[in-house]
Amino acid sequence: MASSSKDSSVPTKLSSAQLHRLSEYLEAKCLELTRGVRKRLEPESAYSTLPAYVAASSSLVSMVLLVPPSEGIRTSWLLRITGDIFENVPAYQLDTLLDTVLEAGDDEEKEQIPILSEQGLEDLDQVFQLFEKLDAGWCAVIKNERWDAKEGHGIFESEADKSDPFSTTDRIRLRSLIISGKHELDDWLAEHGGGASFDIYQRSIRVMQHTMEEIGGDVPLPAAEPEDDDSDDYS
């Protein structure tokens, strides 16, 4: 958090018409991204690669964070996009190589395990950067701060609306999203050999760490929902 003079180019309030247009745009963009992930294996897909998806998602996150803190739409759309990111990133494959290791034992059998290639590491770095932006962004939302896109963190404004647009229900939803999403992310990293890298392991631990600290550990998790057999299959 920091204090700063207000940027006159960033509105402090949106009209009903502006909010409506923004919601329509975000809805269309989220649907476009979801369809793009489902069709990522098609030659003409705009989101056939993980970097393409991450770049588009990062732009959406930036747009939502610039919505004035007084507008509840900022929280609701960031929840939607955060859930989509956690769900869609593991649908992609990271580029890997096979490394040969010796298993412990008398026979010293050789085993091939996947490790990330240079391209895989570059793509994964972009994923971690996206989660770092989300983490900083959520901290700003929880504190009801204006987002400073240049500095990449929230800005406290003493004259800002004192209402709290981040409710207990929002806290529960966000905490649930992060916990379930990180489980999926960890499994995805393990499948691509990420567990063999200490740096990757450390960065995965830090995913949304500051947000979880802001939410607090006393927020209860919602009851588990029954599994839907008709859920989308991204494989």
Q: Look at residue 235 in the predicted model and tell me its pLDDT.
A: 47
Is residue 227 included in any domain, yes or no?
no
What b/e readout covers 154-168, taking b as 16+ CB neighbours within 10 angstroms? bbebeebeeeebbee
| Spatial separation of the C-alpha atoms in residues 187 and 167, rounded to whole Å | 31
Which position has the higher pLDDT, 72 or 133? 133
Largest CA distance in the chain: 73
Q: Look up the domain containing 17 and give its range.
A: 2-215
Report the amino acid identity of residue 161. D
What is the three-state SS of 21-43?
HHHHHHHHHHHHHHHHHHCCCCC
Query: Which residues does residue 39 pair with via DSSP β-bridges, in sequence order?
Result: none
Separation of CA 92 from chain center: 14
Report the amino acid identity of residue 163. S
Q: Look at residue 34 in the predicted model and tell me its pLDDT.
A: 95
| Spatial separation of the C-alpha atoms in residues 6 and 231, rounded to whole Å | 45
Is residue 228 included in any domain, yes or no?
no
When pLDDT is averaged across residues 70-80 and rounded to a whole number, the result is 92
Mean pLDDT of the chain: 86
Q: Look at residue 211 in the predicted model and tell me its pLDDT.
A: 97
Is 60 exceeded by the pLDDT of residue 233? no
Q: Look at residue 40 in the predicted model and tell me its pLDDT.
A: 95
Query: CA nearest 67: which of 30, 19, 16, 33?
Result: 19
Is residue 69 included in any domain, yes or no?
yes
| Spatial separation of the C-alpha atoms in residues 20 and 22, rounded to whole Å | 5
When pLDDT is averaged across residues 83-105 and rounded to a whole number, the result is 86
Contact (Cβ atoms closer than 8 angstroms) between residue 185 and residue 207: yes
192: pLDDT confidence band, cut at 50, 70 and 90? very high
Is 90 exceeded by the pLDDT of residue 217? no
Lowest mean pLDDT among 9-13, 72-76, 204-208: 9-13
| Spatial separation of the C-alpha atoms in residues 11 and 155, rounded to whole Å | 14
Helix (H, G, I), strand (E, B) or coil at 126: helix
What b/e readout covers 110-137, taking b as 16+ CB neighbours within 10 angstroms? eeeebbbeeebbebbeebbebbbbbbbb
Is residue 231 included in any domain, yes or no?
no
Is residue 29 included in any domain, yes or no?
yes
Which residues touch 208 (CB under 8 Å, ≥6 apart)?
131, 134, 135, 138, 178, 182
pLDDT tens profile 125-152: 999 999 999 999 999 999 999 999 998 8
Q: Look at residue 229 in the predicted model and tell me its pLDDT.
A: 52
Q: Look at residue 98 in the predicted model and tell me its pLDDT.
A: 83
For the chain, the domain total comes to: 1
pLDDT tens profile 152-175: 889 887 655 556 668 999 999 999
Q: What percent of the chain has pLDDT over 90?
A: 63
Is residue 224 included in any domain, yes or no?
no
Is residue 223 included in any domain, yes or no?
no
The pTM of the full predicted model, rounded to 2 decimals, is 0.83
71: pLDDT confidence band, cut at 50, 70 and 90? confident
Is residue 41 included in any domain, yes or no?
yes
Contact (Cβ atoms closer than 8 angstroms) between residue 81 and residue 75: no
